Structure 1
Amino acid sequence: MTYTDDYGLTLSTDSDEAASAYRDGVRLMLSAWQGASERLEAAIEADPEFALAHAARARLLAISAQPSAATQAIERARALVAVRGTERELSHVDVLAHAVTGLSKEALARALDHLDRWARDTLILSLPLGAFGLYAFSGMAKHNQARVDLVERHAGQFDADDWWFLTYHGWALAENGEVARGRTMLERAVERRRENANGAHALSHAMYEGGAGDDAEAFIAGWLPEYDRSGILHGHIAWHSALVALERGDVEAALQTYDAHVQPSVSQGMPINVVSDAASLLWRIGLYGHPVPAGAWDTISRYAGEKFPKAGHAFVDTHMMMVEAMAGDPSGLHARIAAVDKLVADGSLGAGLVVPTVGRALSAFAEADYVRAIALLEPVAPEVVRIGGSGAQREVIEDTLLLAYMRVGDTAKARALLDRRLHRRPSPRDASWREGLAA
């Protein structure tokens, strides 16, 4: 008997139990839902020589920041698929092997080639997409458009109501400025599959980017209790609610959410999310003129230093520099900037000079040298997109430039920037600032 995945692609296993568990595991992984690991392990137990189950488990381990275990799993998949695997499965494992072992540039190129032949291979199609996907972390300035181009090139391969494709099509559109169209797709995606944390996350983004903060907060309040705290996006989706609270000036609500869901001691999310969410939220709180709770920066500093001791990832390094600037670690900050400078010089950091420049600007801002912060940030502001992540995450850098303008009294530049932001996304905070500058 021939077994297939959810999209009709052949699975090289003789076990009905293994095929069923694999389908479940991939479905749960693609929706960022708990239970994926258990189902993939069940697939391997039912058929220890099922290469794709080992490969999917490797991908899940990589997402969970377990690189050694992920490498072992993908090497097992490589050995097995060479003995029992179709041409598609051989390519599938090869792409995942490059992604799991950190060969991101090669993984992206191989994924795109693979998708030209097997566009319905959703685990591979997921790799370039999302805020932390291969496109976002490629260093490309136009990665938002690249995601849209990719999903629209392959849209004809998927049913109009496919929950997974709606999630990533809608996300790509919303991040690229087509917010209303993207939100419609994302609402449909969550309607089609409620147990879809990636969909709920993307919908929260679309609402935020459309200026519908109240909608985002209400949606998260109604949906998040259904999502177990062990879910990798639980803390990050809560972070979106905290961001909305800050937008309307309710720092108490933002900090309550931070304490309950976001800070390292309570979040079970991916370390990249825990560090970036905590750092950017605390930075924003201080930036907007509110006191940051005593010890908060020290707590995130200890966690972040353990998880990311070395430089080498543009998005992570940007947030680590916030932590080091605010936790009283000038030597750590200067060492990281120097390490990033070296990576830029040898061409191994795709985002380029924007990362160390932003780091120096953050350091200057923390020292209240707003003139220097402006001088550093202005030239690279259009390039900040290259660090990856989402628009909501990167906005903290633009916020820093805006507040620097306001603190040196450059009302003309502050008004111009606020006008652009308000045209892009209605915001009660920006509207209040703009009104104050006009007075």
Structure 2
Amino acid sequence: MACFDRYSLPLSTPSEYAANRYRTGVDLLLSLWPGAADALDEAIAADPEFALAQAARARLHAIRAEIGDARAMITNAVALVGRNGTPRERSHVEVLSLAIHGQAAKALAAALEHVDRWPRDVVVLSLPLGAFGLFAFSGMADHDQARVALCERHARHFEDDDWWFLTYRGWAHGENGDVRLGRTLTQRALELRRHNVNAAHAVAHVLYEAGANDEADAMIAGWLPEYDRSGILHGHIAWHAALIALERGDTKRALAIYDANVAPAASLGVPINVVSDTASFLWRMQAYGHAVPAGKWDDAARYASDYFRQAGFPFADVHMALIAAATGATAALDERASALDALVEAGTLRAGAVVPAICRAARAFAEEKYAKCAAILEPVAHEVVRIGGSGAQREIVQDTLLVAWMRSGEAGKARALLDQRLHRRPSPRDMRWLNQLVTA
């Protein structure tokens, strides 16, 4: 009996049980819901020759930053698929292998070629999408539009009630500026599959971009308790709630959420999320004029010291620089910035010179050299998108520039930016700042 995945693509396994556990495991993988590892392990146990099950398990290892396990598993999948896989399966495994082995540019090109032939192969289609996908970390200045284009090119291949495609199509549009469409699609995706972490995350982002703080707060409060604390994005979704409280000026609640869910001692997330969420929350709090309680920056620095030591991963570089600047680790910050300069000079840092510029601006800001910070950031502000991540995550750089302008006497520039932001979405924090500038 022939076996198929949820999208009617043939699977090279004679075991319907293995295929069933694979379908379940892939759905859990694509929704980031706990249980994917068990389901995929059961598929592999039922058919140890089932290459795609091993490839999906490798992908899950990679998402969880278990790189050694991911590479061992994908290497085994490559060997298996070479013996008994179809052309689609061999290409599928090869794309995942490129991504897992850190060959991001080749993986992106191969993924795009693959989905042109097999657009419903959603494990591969998922790779370029999302805040941490191959497009986001490509260094492209137009990666938000590239995600929209990819989704729209293949939309005809998916039903209107496909929860996975709705999630990422909505995410793509929301991040690219069509917040209304993004909200419609992501909220529908969450309705269709409530235990879909990526949809809950996407809804949090589109509500943030819409300035719908009350709705975002209510959604997170109602949904997060259903998601186990061990889930990869548990701390990050709580981070969104902490930012809402911070935007309202409720530092007591913001810190309570941070301490309970986001801080290194509380979060069970992967290093990139823990480092970026702790650094960006504490930096925002400090930049907005609130005192960061003693020890919190040191805790963040202690956790971060085990990760991202080598420069060259722009999104991590920026957040490591924030931590170094805030804790006075200027030698480490300068060393990172110089290493990034060398990569820019060699042409191997795809995000370009904006990355070391942000690092140096962070140092200037921490040292209260606000005019210098603004002078560094202003010429590269339009390039910040190239570091990847989401608009909400990257906004920390714009906030830094804005506060630097306000504190260095550039009230006109600050007012113009605040006016632009407030025309895009309501913000109680931005309105407070604008009122301060108007009455100063």
TM-score by length of 1: 0.99
Paired with 2:381 and 2:217, the residues of 1 have a C-alpha distance of: 29
Within 5 A, what are the aligned runs for 1:30-429? 30-429=30-429
1:16 matched to which residue of 2?
16
Amino acid across the alignment from 1:73 = M
Letter in 2 for 1:112: L
* Residues in 2 aligned to 1:410 and 1:320: alpha-carbon distance in whole angstroms: 28
**Residue type at the aligned position of 2:106:** E
Give the aligned length: 439
Where structure 1 has 5 or more consecutive residues not aligned to the other structure, the ranges are: none
AA partner of residue 107 (structure 2): A
List alignment gaps of at least 5 residues for structure 2. none
Distance 1:333 1:436 in 2: 33
Shift of 1:260: 0.4
Separation of aligned partners in 2, 1:357 and 1:180: 34
Instruction: Give the secondary-structure state (helix, strand or coil) at the position aligned to 1:291.
Output: coil
Matches of 1:361 and 1:434, distance apart in 2 = 23
Deviations 1:48-86, CA, capped at 9 Å, x for gaps: 110001111111111111111111111000000000101
The offset of 1:328, in angstroms, is 2.2
The yes-or-no answer on 1:435 pairing with 2:435 is yes
SS of corresponding position for 2:305: helix
Return the alpha-carbon distance in structure 2 between the equivalents of residues 97 and 347 of structure 1: 24
| 1:420 Cα deviation after fit | 0.9
* Stretches of 4+ aligned residues off by more than 2 angstroms: none
Shift of 1:312: 1.5
Root-mean-square deviation (Å):
0.7
One-letter amino acid of the structure 2 residue matched with residue 72 of structure 1: A
Amino acid at match of 2:108: L
Tell me how far apart the structure 1 counterparts of residues 399 and 90 of structure 2 sit (CA, whole Å): 46
Deviation at 1:308, TM superposition (A): 1.6
- Higher mean alpha-carbon deviation, 309-318 vs 146-155, is at 309-318
Q: Distance in 2 between matches of 1:59 and 1:47?
A: 18
Q: Secondary structure at the match of 1:229?
A: coil
1: CA distance, partners of 2:424 / 2:382: 15
Deviations 1:238-279 (A, max 9, x none): 000011111111111111010000011111112111100000
Q: Could you list the per-position Cα deviations for residues 279-302 of structure 1 after superposition, in whole angstroms to 9, with x for gaps in the alignment?
A: 000000000111111111111111
Question: Secondary structure at the residue paired with 1:307?
Answer: coil
Give the C-alpha shift of residue 338 in structure 1.
Answer: 1.4
Q: Give how far 1:130 is off.
A: 0.3
Report the TM-score when normalising by structure 2.
Answer: 0.99
Structure 1 counterpart SS, 2:380: helix
Look up the equivalent residue of 1:33 and give its one-letter code. Answer: W
Matches of 1:405 and 1:429, distance apart in 2? 16
Give the share of equivalent positions with the same residue, in percent: 61
